[in-house]
Structure 1
Amino acid sequence: MVSRGLGTVSVRFLVARFRIVKQGGQVIVREETLRRLRFAPVAVALLLMVVFASLTLRSKRKVLVFATGSDVGLYHLLASRIEKAVERSHADVAIELITSAGSTENIACLERKEAQIALVQNDARGGKSVRSIAALYPEVLHLICRSDRNIRSLGDLKERRIGIGAVGSGTEQLTSKLLEFVGVSLDPKRVWRGSFSESLQLVKSGELDGTFILAGVGAEMIETVMRDQRVELVPIQMGEHRAKEAKDIAQEFVDGFRVHYPHIAPYTIPLMAYEGRPAAPVPTLSVQAVLVCHEKVAVELVERITKTLFGQRAVLSQQDTTFAHLNEQSAQASLQFPLHTGADNYYRRREPGFLNENAEAMGFLVTVALLIWSVLSWAQRWYGQRRKNRVDIYYQSIEALSRRVGDVTCLQELETLESELQQIGRQAGQELVEETLAADESYIIYQTMFGDCRTSLEQIRVRLLSAADTA
């Protein structure tokens, strides 16, 4: 009973909503309703286009895996800043961060195509398929030692317990080559390999005499440990030089070391860089931290990332002062890995042609235009056919009336037929004005049939009147 009641309500709703009427045993949808419904296919097509566009953009979203470093390290922090800047500027790009042991592992990830972009030291080994995007900032080698161990130069590290960085890290690679260059052989049992935070804790506790830390000047972990007066910064030099300037010591040392180990630069840690310490500038060396990618990453995508990096430099620098080192000239200078074509295009401002830059968008617009044209053409044909079908109703009405003309025997029957014909004419004229009938060949045929029927009725009237006069 409930089902039948619902069915009755549904039918009544359709009849009322769409103005469905029943004439001569046939269900007819009024033309006013048909006019409204003719736009339904267009609305459906537009809805489908929106869904199609959404799915297309989602399916074309580019996902880049970004190899960083320790999840508590500076590489990972900087990578997260870059990730947010790129995703905020480019909705079709998604970046996924992965942790690693550092530069060496990052290079391996790129070579194995497990990552598409990474942060590495400019002196990292390997990387035939690695391409540079930009040098971000100088990583400065800090030698932090116990103040009570009387360590004044690299030569004093013999027989000491020293941290040289995590296994497979860029710091381990650099410090091993550095100690080899100055002729300092460390007892393998006294060498400690691990994270920077762990090594600094071991220095503070006295379990290590010193440790090498490769980080940007002002790094928080170094600033924290330098508050402890039991530790100090030791110059990177062969022996103690009291008469020379720190920058001259750094330059002389790097000039010799660079012969054996390229891609480094002299650096001087400024006076009071860490809350009042050091009391004098400290000579050392640096190596650039570089944003790199795999050579197969799309040129257009790398160009956009490079443009975002420098376009968002002010925002990035506010989030982390390390980005203040970003400079277009230094970003592409003295790089070990060749520049990616996309980055090179940005630096040289090689703007892509309008067609190349907008090829995908134009292709999509052409597809949408063709789809709309097809839908509108179909709607026009459908509406034209509906109007033709309407004129067919008048054909049938006049034809039925014409068949009754021969049966007329009196003026009363004749007037009834004439009245019906006039009603047909008025209704057809009204629909022509409302443009539900087209003034085309079909309508001309209707007019001819209408005229012939009217002529037949006039002839019948003459015949009946003549018969009445004769009688």
Structure 2
Amino acid sequence: MAFSITRRAFSAGVGAAAVLAGTGMSFAQQAFFRIGTGGTSGTYYPIGGLIANAISATGEAGVEGLVATAVASNGSVANISAIQSGAGEAGFTQSDVAYWAYSGTGLYEGKPKVEDLRLVATLYPETIHLVARADAGIKSVADLKGKRVSLDEPGSGTIVDARLVLAAYGLSEKDLHAEYLKPGPSGEKVQDNSLDAYFFVGGYPTGAIVELAATNNITLVPIHGPEADKLLAEQGFFQTDTVPADTYKNVGETQTISVAAQMVSSAKQPDDLIYNIVKSLYSEASQKALQAGHAKGKMITLDNAVKSAGIPFHPGAERFYKEAGVLK
């Protein structure tokens, strides 16, 4: 997977380099730390930018000599691939995808296990949104039968989660007029009435759905009840979740499920580097910046950092969490 550094990321890197140069630190002493995020319309990208700014040397509590950049990508699987290939030092992923990669199951069935994958921090819940046109007559997952539904692109974490949800309600994609589109194009097709619903996994509020709801009558389809309870029991990486009323215009409180957004890296990354990055991330200054910068930033807390750990912690992160008293 080829990664391209965004204009914002490049500017942040150049700015950090200029500041470091002004302090007399040699260029060779700098550590460049690329964080794979997601598409620019999702939640990963803005959160990645906030974290990169917080932990960079230019941040109030940043790591000396570190130039961190947020890199736009295709999401979880692409970010893990970049870490494997050395095209990125860290990345964001869904907790289920991280588990599948490490264990060689799910999306990674029949593929080599990513045994070097390590958890840096659990960030926040990623809600499974089932977005539907308000006039499509979809009140439950079971109502998707015969409807035009996008499950996201092949190879995405969302498509696997969507299939699990459908199966819990006795459906498969054969029961739908299934399409395989990214959230952006899916929203456009909902807008022009050529799609009835689509799955999206991400922290709320997500910008693309906010924009869609501002100009179109949409609803969020609940994922709850006995079917969801059975799914939660079978798949330990799912948790119950609730989207508050008016998170999206004219959309009421909706019960659903979620996975966790996680920041992962490779066991090959130096222990001291990851230790200092995590220490910087949970400093008072960084926490204030995260809380002010995005709704999901308020959930990136030290207590949440060690939850939903389906893969081993990076030793540097583990050392910090033990010192901080949140991990035994």
State TM-score, norm by structure 1.
Answer: 0.56
Task: Judge which range, 180-189 or 131-140, deviates more.
Answer: 180-189
Equivalence for 2:13: none
Q: How does 1:129-278 map to 2 (within 5 A)?
A: 129-187=116-174, 190-228=177-215, 230-237=217-224, 249=225, 252-278=226-252
CA distance in 1, matches of 2:175, 2:229: 29
Tell me if structure 2 keeps the 8 A contact 1:64–1:116: yes
Answer 1 or 2: higher relative contact order, Cα 8 Å, separation at least 6: 2
CA distance in 2, matches of 1:54, 1:314: 29
The C-alpha deviation readout for 1:375-428, integer Å capped at 9, x for no partner, is xxxxxxxxxxxxxxxxxxxxxxxxxxxxxxxxxxxxxxxxxxxxxxxxxxxxxx
Q: Which amino acid in the other structure matches residue 90 of structure 1?
A: V
Tell me if structure 2 keeps the 8 A contact 1:254–1:264: no
Other structure's SS at 1:339 match: coil
Q: How does 1:107-146 map to 2 (within 5 A)?
A: 107-124=80-97, 125-126=100-101, 127-146=114-133
How far did residue 169 of structure 1 move?
A: 1.6
Q: Which amino acid in the other structure matches residue 209 of structure 2?
A: I
How far did residue 54 of structure 1 move?
A: 4.7
| 1:99 corresponds to 2:72 | yes
How far did residue 297 of structure 1 move?
A: 0.8
CA distance in 1, matches of 2:263, 2:172: 33
1:309 to 278, 281, 291: 281
How far did residue 189 of structure 1 move?
A: 8.4
Other structure's SS at 1:166 match: coil
Gaps of 5+ in 1: 1-50, 238-248, 352-471
CA distance in 1, matches of 2:174, 2:123: 35
- Count of residues in correspondence between the two structures: 284
RMSD: 2.3
CA distance in 2, matches of 1:201, 1:178: 23
Q: Which amino acid in the other structure matches residue 219 of structure 2?
A: E
Equivalence for 2:5: none
Tell me if structure 2 keeps the 8 A contact 1:105–1:168: no
How far did residue 350 of structure 1 move?
A: 7.2
CA distance in 1, matches of 2:216, 2:85: 45
Equivalence for 2:47: 78
| 1:336 corresponds to 2:310 | yes
The C-alpha deviation readout for 1:78-118, integer Å capped at 9, x for no partner, is 11211111112224112244332111121122222322100
Percent identity of the aligned residues? 24
Other structure's SS at 1:263 match: coil
Q: How does 1:334-373 map to 2 (within 5 A)?
A: 334-349=308-323
Higher alpha-carbon Rg = 1
Q: Which amino acid in the other structure matches residue 212 of structure 1?
A: F
How far did residue 266 of structure 1 move?
A: 0.5
Equivalence for 1:324: 298
Q: Which amino acid in the other structure matches residue 98 of structure 1?
A: V
Change (3 A) 1:77 1:229: closer
Other structure's SS at 2:282 match: helix
Change (3 A) 1:189 1:232: closer
The answer to which structure has the higher helix fraction is 1
Tell me if structure 1 keeps the 8 A contact 2:218–2:251: no
CA distance in 1, matches of 2:255, 2:213: 17
Change (3 A) 1:189 1:149: closer
Q: Which amino acid in the other structure matches residue 79 of structure 2?
A: N
| 1:300 corresponds to 2:275 | no
CA distance in 2, matches of 1:218, 1:225: 12
Equivalence for 2:16: none
Tell me if structure 2 keeps the 8 A contact 1:159–1:187: no
CA distance in 1, matches of 2:175, 2:142: 17
Q: How does 1:427-438 map to 2 (within 5 A)?
A: none
CA distance in 2, matches of 1:321, 1:299: 30
Tell me if structure 2 keeps the 8 A contact 1:160–1:186: no
Other structure's SS at 2:173 match: coil
How far did residue 212 of structure 1 move?
A: 1.0
The C-alpha deviation readout for 1:49-103, integer Å capped at 9, x for no partner, is xx9x957x42121122222222343212211211111112224112244332111
Equivalence for 1:361: none
CA distance in 1, matches of 2:81, 2:320: 27
How far did residue 265 of structure 1 move?
A: 0.2
Tell me if structure 1 keeps the 8 A contact 2:287–2:301: no
How far did residue 128 of structure 1 move?
A: 1.7
CA distance in 2, matches of 1:294, 1:334: 18
Gaps of 5+ in 2: 1-20, 102-113
Q: Which amino acid in the other structure matches residue 108 of structure 1?
A: S
Other structure's SS at 1:141 match: strand
CA distance in 2, matches of 1:254, 1:332: 25
CA distance in 1, matches of 2:129, 2:43: 15
